[in-house]
Amino acid sequence: MPRTIHLALHPYGVGGPGQHGLWKDPRVAKNSSIDINYYIRLAQAAEHALFDALFIVDSQFINATYPAHYLNRLEPLTLLSAVATHTKHIGLVGTASSTYNSPFNLARRFASLDHISGGRAGWNVVTSFDTGTSKNYGLDEHLDYTTRYGRALEFVQVARGLWDSYEDDAFPADVERGVFLDPTKLHELDHEGEHFKVAGPLNLSRSPQGQPVIFQAGVSEEGRDLAAQVAEGIYAPGGSLQQAQEYYADIKKRTASYGRDPGHIKIFIHGGPVVAATDEAARRREREIFEEDNDFDRNLALLGRSFGAYDFSAHDLDAPFPDVAHLAEKGGRTGAAKLIERARTENLTLRQVAESINQFRQSPFVGNPRTVADTIEQWFDAGTFDGINLAFRTEEEINLFVDGVVPILQKRGLFRTEYAADTLRGNLGLPIPANRHAREPQLVSD
């Protein structure tokens, strides 16, 4: 089968990192981040356009400097469970931390979403970026990188073991014989590892897709290795075409090194298309968006997130970038290390570093519908992604992409004209995981 593009939708609400002015747009309802009808409308629009998934991000720590969307938003699994009852095909991917959850509880919640949606759930595994989260869970300090990623790997392994608690035919529900459950097909986990001790079994059967799809967003060495071992979908950083090619090739190579089929891991890059009637109008609008969002104080606060929500406002903005390398180990280490290295080699001040994180950078996916479709096709053919995680500022902009770009991709055979399956796995072309306890070989493709 020829490769086709996968599309996911990432709602902005009233504006996350880098979209500091979005909440001021008169087209954006000021309560959209907590309005379930907003998410239902977006999911239905994306489903009408045959998108693969709706993706909901999350974090569990804020202070008053955080982006507008972060200050007041719905919990992902609660949100997605509501959306599930108003959609039929689109996948529902929620972010949840492996650092600040227990495997049994989270495995049960995602399995419940998988049943509610008929097999459309996905879990974006994160180790938690914000160091302040620790204090919301009774811990004095955020766990270090090595511990967080070791815990994440074991967490996923435990969750998958719990999702296999029942074999597929464990419930004969035979009234005549008085047999509801075949007890030989219920399996305890009895896991005892470095980070977790979980007996099991889970009190919920497998869904039509076997298990929720595992997503991950690894950039660091630890993150890339975790993704190569357990992920079935990846939210990749994007960047330039060359950077995206290098990341794509690296992840596929690592996946193969762990004995996995590289085709069974779908890499989504971030994309924020700007579509207009002409290329000139789209570029003009792209520049306007940058100016709307260019808030120095918010950028300075955003810089602090990579260093454990550190308050840089206490420093002289025009002095050399301060020595805060020790704060990066338990925060966003990879991004922080790049900032520190740039500041050192280019002798940048704190002000210059803060300004640099929100410099105007032209997106490749900007122009009239044909221009955007051409660029998407070029990047896809160049081996940079399997899919794009699309983010739009307004519902109007989603419609411009759906009505203008999607039909061109479909005409070129690059995007589906109907859903292939009722499950997220089926539409992503991923195999159904065989239950480890099954007596007979099971079908492993949807």
The binding site for FMN comprises 58, 95, 149, 220
* DSSP secondary structure code for residue 275 in this structure: E
Cβ(367)–Cβ(282) below 8 Å: yes
Residue 187 has phi, psi (to 5 degrees) of: -130, 125
Give me the DSSP letters along 18-86.
T-TTGGG-TTS-TTGGG-HHHHHHHHHHHHHTT-SEEEE---S---TTS-HHHHS---HHHHHHHHHTT
Q: How far is CA 285 from CA 73, 182, 279, 429, in A?
A: 27, 62, 10, 36
CA nearest 39: which of 16, 70, 72, 10? 10
Kindly provide the b/e burial profile for residues 225-251, where b requires at least 16 CB atoms within 10 angstroms of the residue's own CB: bbbbbbbbbbbbebeeeeebbebbeeb
SS3 105: helix
Cβ(126)–Cβ(98) below 8 Å: yes
Residues forming the annotated binding site?
58, 95, 149, 220
Question: Is the four-CA dihedral 14, 92, 86, 83 of positive or negative sign?
Answer: negative
SS3 197: strand
Kindly provide the b/e burial profile for residues 333-355, where b requires at least 16 CB atoms within 10 angstroms of the residue's own CB: bbbbeebbeebeeeebbbbbbbb
Cβ(371)–Cβ(363) below 8 Å: no
Q: How far apart are CA 165 and CA 185, in angstroms?
A: 8
**How many of the other CB atoms lie within 10 Å of CB of 220?**
16
Residue 438 has phi, psi (to 5 degrees) of: -65, 135
Residue 257 has phi, psi (to 5 degrees) of: -65, -20
* 387-390/6-9 β-pairing: parallel
CA nearest 254: which of 232, 227, 216, 218? 227
